[in-house]
Chain A
Amino acid sequence: MNTENTAKPRKGILVCLSSSTSNARVIHAAADLAAAFRGSLTALFVETPAYALLSEDDKKRLRSNMNLAEKLGARLETVIGDDVPYQIAEYARVSDVSCIVIGQTNTVSRLFRRRKPLTDRLVAYAPDLDYFIIPDHGTRVYVARNPSRFDRRQAMLDSLLFLTSLAGCTLIGFLFSHLGFTDANIIMVYLLGLLIVSIGAANRVFGMVWAVLSVLLFDLLFTTPRFSFYSYETGYPVTFIVMLAAASIISTLAIRLKQNAGQSAKSARRMSVVLETDRQLSKAKTTEEIFFVLASQLTKLLKRSLVIYPAQGDELGDPVFYPAAEDTVPYRTNDEKPAAEWAFRHRRRAGAATDVFPTADYLYYSLRVQERVYGVVGTAVHGSPPDASELSVLASVVGECSLALENARNAREKEESMLLAENERLRANLLRAVSHDLRTPLTSILGNADNLLYRGEALDPRTRKQLYEDIYADAQWLTGMVENLLSASRVSEGKLSLKMSTELMDDMITEGIQHLGRRLDSHILERRKAETLLFVKADARLMVQVIINLVDNAIKYTPSGSRICIETAEEGENVAVRIGDDGPGIPEEEKTHIFDLFYTGGNPAGDNRRGLGIGLALCESILKGHGGSIRVKDNVPKGTLFEFTLPKEEVNLNE
């Protein structure tokens, strides 16, 4: 059997928590079992309505049991419900638990029925689990005692309801009796009154008192002989007994109804908070946003101040304090930090209401997924430790946030590695292209300079001039290339390195044309400016580079004397710039490729200087980075037309 168990991946072991003193023994046994099976341990506490009535000692014992379970490596869970075995079985069913460790508690005999032991009922609900029952004699299970808190106002209201109902029913009884209705009708009226009182009053005592009183009143007022407790008819004692039984059942049912309603409201609220947290977390992308969701949800839910220490590498960062509305106690970082540090280092709870740094004012949870800790969250205790349901909400929200932090981190890492891979690919391509294509102009410059230096006298002036011109042209080509490579490196660094400012489109075109200088002398340039001032938000240096590249292409790929036209126009929400020429144009099949990186085209003139094929690709990525686009078309009547658009920017004047 052992071998069979170890063959299973992981055995889920569930231990049930209670406030009993022997519960510690049960927890230890469960922990040993979990260690033996190398299984995961979950400690479950079922919060019943009776929890609120527990004494302080019991609550304290329960907390210490919870701490113990956590110390032994258990995951703490709390469920809310009335039927303990049903809740345990349900939890076991949904959470992959295969084995339950439970203390065998003494059963409590009640007035009307004797309950089966908890374990028996548990087995009935979930027959296919393994059970380990630890004998637990001589201890009490917690039973509901009289509520320690007596609410005077509530009692007054209940008494008022009770008395008016009783008076009303009796009056109606007299009316019925006067009209000659049968006694059964009067009894029905009292039963109705019982229902009202049982549902309306908070304390079940009222229902019971009603039952007794109504029977006595009925006997006194409506049975013959009147005004005596003696009854001639033999059937009446049966009526009394039935009435009493009905009263007892109705008041029990009514009270349970109220408790269930309260519990479902509580768990619905918890559920909705957890769902809301989930929803907000799914929207949060950065660590800061997740921390903010955590803080806002928890302060809203627990009405306690919150403090978050984000992890910074292996250290705990500075705390961020989120005070609750009514909390005026300032956060004392120096006194509190050791507890937070401990929670961070040991990845467990610490601070108030735990055994570690119990003097701290806050209760600290580490935000962790397995071994990785993302920070520590502390919630204000101020002497009133959170109860089991608060703890459970806290634990589940903290767990959700830890998962969200883990997801955010994974997404970030994935993005970074993808970016890195993409950058690496670009870099490799760039290096290849650079080493291959920059050699040509460098060879030409070196060779020409060498000739001029050592054999210059032997050359005739015309040849010499030709060599000088070649050096000049090659150097200029290299200059342009260096500018493009610099721009490319800035674009590939991502959006952050763009220096956006509001610029006048025509100014940037003018600047670009100035850069081209003499190269434009061989062509005829025409400008068509828009009537209005067209502003765009752009990185001016990069946008000028786009214009240089486009105009430079127009110069390069058209014969001298060709006409180049630069036009700016407003198109709806965009600013359009068109750079057209009347050269030979671009074949249709090449148009789809010219924006590809390192595409240099099937350049027909073999002696033409080849580009690196980064100019147009760079233009496209610069424009995309600015939220714009670029297209190539045929110019009318002939030639090529490059058109790019950028979102228009409105400027509010400061006068």
Chain B
Amino acid sequence: MNKPLILIVEDDAPIRNLISVTMDAHAYRHITAADASAGILQAATHNPDVLLLDLGLPDLDGVEVIRKIRSWSSMPIIVISARSDDADKIDALDAGADDYLTKPFSVEELLARLRVTLRRLNQFPQDGQESSVFTNGELKIDYLAGCAFLGGEELHLTPIEYRLLCLLSRNCGRVLTHKYITQQVWGTAWENNVASLRVFMATLRKKLEAGQKSSSCIQTHVGIGYRMVKLDP
């Protein structure tokens, strides 16, 4: 398989340089763009595997770039933001971004996020074609039968827990915001639903962790949302 191609859209030269060097050092192919219009053009012409996108671009807001790219492509987008406010990240995620990184970030963190995203690509090699069975580490979900298994044992889940698990597994690797999840599961994004979501998520995670020594495949992003990560087989 070809080495994945990474598109870096970042207006700050030292950061762009830092990411380029890191990509080189870890044998990823990469192309760069310094503003939004060049970035969109590169994305359209080269169809990269992953897009690393800075939100604060000189010509267009990063969230707009995500909306534009999402209109034709579902390529994974990792947002890089110097804004510490959670609201910006949530906007970007709701617009269709897969993950986010806050400046200052460490190189390891960047690489870890990239690996998670690329694993997701391997999980669903073709877009839109979902298999009826999902496996991730010990976890196995049979969408057709409507049941989930952990290490061969059937999991006893409440209807909402099962729906949450399905939602996360279908978007494995993506950070889903609280708003998105409550809208999908309850149909509304009321504050009370967000609180309920935390309870259901906590009980779901407890059930998923029961048989395992390590922590479960569901990550909590405090103040943002949840993500299921693809565990190494």
Contact = CB atoms under 8 A, between A and B. Distances in A.
A273 to B, nearest CB: 41
B194 interface: yes
B227 to A, nearest CB: 13
B202 interface: yes
A479 interface: yes
Interface in A527-548: 533, 535, 540-541, 544
B84 interface: yes
A540 B222 contact: yes
A593 interface: no
A655 interface: yes
Contacts of A499: 86, 223
B226 to A, nearest CB: 10
Contact of A504 (B108, B158, B192, B202): B202
B93 to A, nearest CB: 15
A653 interface: yes
B199 interface: yes
Contacts of A330: none
A652 B198 contact: no
Contacts of B194: 501-502
A572 interface: no
A507 to B, nearest CB: 5
A34 interface: no
**Size class of the contact patch on chain A:** 20 to 34
B196 A654 contact: yes
B220 interface: yes
B223 A541 contact: yes
Given A501-B191, A533-B199, A535-B195, A654 B222 contact: no
Contacts of B221: 511
Nearest to B109: A517
A461 B57 CA distance: 39
Interface residues of B, number: 26
Which of B186, B196, B223 has the most C-beta atoms of chain A within 10 angstroms of its own C-beta? B223
Contact of A651 (B86, B199, B223): B199
A503 interface: yes
Given A499-B86, A517-B106, A655-B160, A510 B198 contact: no
B128 interface: no
A165 B199 CA distance: 82
A486 interface: yes
A502 B222 contact: no
A508 interface: yes
A520 to B, nearest CB: 14
B223 A502 contact: no
A507 B221 CA distance: 8
Nearest to A509: B222
B135 interface: no
Given A533-B202, A651-B198, A655-B160, A501 B223 contact: yes
Nearest to A534: B202
A544 B191 CA distance: 20
A502 B197 CA distance: 10
Interface in B192-210: 192-196, 198-200, 202-203
B233 interface: no
B211 to A, nearest CB: 18
Contact of A503 (B104, B160, B222): B222
B199 A653 contact: yes
A544 B199 contact: no
A238 B159 CA distance: 106
Interface string A542-556: 001000000000000
A614 to B, nearest CB: 17
A512 to B, nearest CB: 9
A504 B198 contact: yes
Contact of B222 (A475, A483, A517, A544): A544
B84 A502 contact: no
A651 B84 CA distance: 28
Contacts of A502: 191, 194-195, 198
Contact of B196 (A508, A517, A544, A652): A652
B81 to A, nearest CB: 14
Nearest to B87: A499
Contacts of B195: 501-502, 535, 649, 651-652
B222 A479 contact: no
A654 B193 contact: yes
Nearest to B192: A654
B222 A652 contact: no
A630 B190 CA distance: 32
Interface in B18-47: none
Contacts of B186: 654
Nearest to B158: A655
A486 B222 contact: no
Given A517-B106, A533-B202, A510 B220 contact: yes
27 contacts: A483-B84, A499-B223, A501-B191, A502-B191, A502-B195, A503-B198, A503-B223, A507-B202, A507-B220, A508-B222, A510-B220, A511-B220, A511-B221, A517-B109, A535-B198, A540-B223, A541-B84, A541-B222, A541-B223, A544-B222, A652-B195, A653-B200, A654-B186, A654-B190, A654-B193, A655-B159, A655-B196
7 tightest A-B contacts by CB? A540-B223, A502-B195, A511-B222, A654-B196, A540-B222, A507-B220, A651-B195
